[in-house]
Amino acid sequence: MIRVLIADDETLMRAGIRLILENDPEITVVAEAGDGKQAVELASKHSVDVALLDIRMPGGDGLKAAEQIAGGTNVVMLTTFGEDSYVAQALKVGATGFLLKDTPPQELINAVHKAARGEPILAPQITKRLIEKHLTAPGDGSQARLKIDALTETERNVLRLVGEGLSNSEIGEQLYMATGTVKAHISRILPKLECANRVQAAIIAHDAGLTRS
């Protein structure tokens, strides 16, 4: 069983997420928290595998909670559009996943399974907005171009579309690949670029001049 903690200051949001997740027989919600401080306490007490944290909460916000929980627990931040700066900060404190609060139910379930396996999760919409709004000037891009030299032509094409914020299925449509094939390419691209997640890979694509943005 995947043991999940839900932390959100809105009771209805927690109840909705619990209802979705507990439709999956392999997921159990072991604790709910209404603020960051409580989330940290419950994550330790219940040996949580995946913590779903609202990125902004009273009484010790989601960012502070993520920093303390990350490590022994895979942290997925729940966010909305307009909170991109918080996403950038959460990357720095060790969160491994980011989902929009309006993520469809099955995608939420799939994300929890991926997080439990230690796989990074980032909604493509967030990737694109994060780069557009918070990427600093990349200099001459020479380091990024050196890194992408290790990629095959196909991997460069996949990376370019990751940098433009496309999802795996959208990349597959563009390049006439199955979604599973796209995922396999990305799993090879990330270690070649020494990246932990899609955002870092997208930034390299941007720096190297692969993207149109």
Q: Domain spans of the chain? A: 2-122, 132-207
CATH architecture of 132-207: 3-Layer(aba) Sandwich (3.40)
The answer, yes or no, to whether residue 192 has pLDDT greater than 90, is yes
List the beta bridge partners of residue 28: 3
pLDDT of 131 reads 63
> Is the alpha carbon torsion for 52, 17, 35, 38 positive or negative?
negative
The rounded distance, in Å, linking the Cα atoms of 89 and 87 is 5
> Is the alpha carbon torsion for 138, 206, 147, 194 positive or negative?
positive
Task: Say whether 132-207 and 2-122 share the same fold.
Answer: yes
The rounded distance, in Å, linking the Cα atoms of 21 and 144 is 39
* Tokens 């007490």 found at: 45
Report the CATH fold assignment for 2-122.
Answer: Rossmann fold (3.40.50)
Q: What is the pLDDT of residues 30-63, one digit of tens each?
A: 999 999 899 999 998 998 999 999 988 877 688 8
Does this model's pTM top 0.85? My answer is no
Q: What is the pLDDT of residues 96-125, one digit of tens each?
A: 778 888 889 998 999 999 888 777 677 666
Task: Say if residues 28 and 50 touch (Cβ distance below 8 Å).
Answer: no
Q: Coil, helix or strand for 82?
A: coil
* Tokens 């949580």 found at: 48
Task: Say if residues 145 and 159 touch (Cβ distance below 8 Å).
Answer: no
Average pLDDT in the chain = 84
Average the pLDDT over each of 4-8, 53-57, 80-84 and give the range with the smallest value.
Answer: 80-84
